[in-house]
Chains A and B, each alone.
Chain A
Amino acid sequence: MALLSIGLLLIIAAGSAGLLLMTRMRLLDASIQSSAKLPDGERYRPMLRILSEEDLRFTNGNRLLLKKIRTRRREIFRGYLRCLTKDYARLLSGLRRTMVQSGVDRPDLAKAIAKNRFRFAVALCRIEVHLQLHALGIGKVDVSGLVEALDALRSVVNVMTPVAGAAY
């Protein structure tokens, strides 16, 4: 029993040290991300057509080829999603820097970030579910709405200014 207690205490000590290291690294990462260059909207244009079925007519019904192409395109789409997530994280970091630098409480920004993050996480989960269904050959991709949203992002990105200097 004493050995078990000592073992538990050692685990707790290691866990605390790990937590400290993790928070330190995340703080460094937060500083780097919030001063990084903001995303270019054009980079997501290939996402619009990558899962489209229209340009797969050349397969001529060859199911094996079709399956291979769809699998590869899903991988590429996931790659774009990862980039999108990183760019989203950079945008969030910019807003968090604003909160850090503020001399007054910013509940408005806190609320906006919380809502936005929740919606983003839900959207990512939905995309993952649809990608799994796509892998099973169920469902079709309609990217027409995506075109409008991407154009809206481009118009916003065009008036962007670079991020300000460090907070400290």
Chain B
Amino acid sequence: MFGQFPDYRLIFEAAAAAFTIARLLHFRMWREFPAFLFYLLSVAIRATLLSPLDRASGTYVRVYLIGGPLVCFAAAFSVYEMFQLIFRNYPGLRTAGRWALYTALFIALTITALILRKPWPGTAIDRLVFYELVLERSITFGLAVIVIILMIFLSRYPLHLGRNTYVASGFFSAMFLAQAVVRLIDTLAPNLHAGTAADYPEVAFTALCLLGWGIMLRPQEAREPLRPPVDERREAELLHQLEALNTILSRSSRW
């Protein structure tokens, strides 16, 4: 059941997650980011449990099959939490943000569907592992696309995003994309699965991201956005001007 030597890469990943948890607790931010804390805990626990096990053992496969989806769903909740905090401060953007989210989901689902293929030949366990890899790949890729598209969407608006939000979006997108790419490689080349070529660099990359994240975390500054009184006349004028500019363009294109 146990390998000859513990997997030091997984130990490094667990240590990096634990470091970030410590920083989160130190800055007393666990109440504001409970989903993020849960995500870090799930990563740390899974890596800790897997590190002493032999990769060929049944226990390793079971822990991997249970831990993988758990970490993915924790990741999804922490991304949801991040954007929920943003839209709580800027309620005027909720509908527009929802449309951006639907666009991101559509793109992610389309690409995921296009790269689907039939499972590897092999035992029932092999097929379970394949489906788990596809699930992880789909969720992490979808989350990466959501983070990227929502950040691009939010960058059009004159709003203030806290430093921790930037840090989170950068590391989330990097980690999830890396995991999605490696899972894609694993599903396309079964001889590489549980091998060193793609998985080990990905574990090290994730650990470095978590470490960097922990280092860059800062105490959350409380900043309430200013809300001047609603100027409906101003809004109507701006909309009217937009319509007028559009009319100019439309008329000039009707030659």
Contacts and interface: CB of A to CB of B under 8 A. Distances in A.
Interface in A32-62: 33-35, 38, 44, 47
Interface residues of A, number: 84
B192 A1 contact: yes
B62 interface: no
Nearest to A33: B158
B247 A149 contact: yes
Q: Is the interface of A mostly helix, strand, loop or mixed?
A: helix
A57 B132 CA distance: 74
B118 interface: no
B174 A13 contact: yes
A69 interface: no
Contact of A110 (B95, B154, B226, B238): B95
Given A27-B161, A100-B90, A156 B95 contact: no
Contacts of A33: 158
Contact of A123 (B178, B182, B241, B250): B250
Residue of A47, A99, A161 with most partner-chain B CB within 10 A: A99
Interface string B225-243: 1111011001101111111
Contacts, number: 229
A127 B155 contact: no
A88 B177 contact: no
Interface in B165-182: 166, 169-171, 173-174, 177-178, 181-182
Given A16-B171, A105-B94, A168-B160, A120 B246 contact: yes
A142 B239 CA distance: 26
9 contacts: A9-B202, A12-B181, A24-B155, A31-B158, A98-B234, A100-B158, A102-B91, A106-B96, A123-B253
Interface of B: 90-96, 99, 148, 151-152, 154-161, 166, 169-171, 173-174, 177-178, 181-182, 185, 192, 196-198, 200-202, 205, 223, 225-228, 230-231, 234-235, 237-255
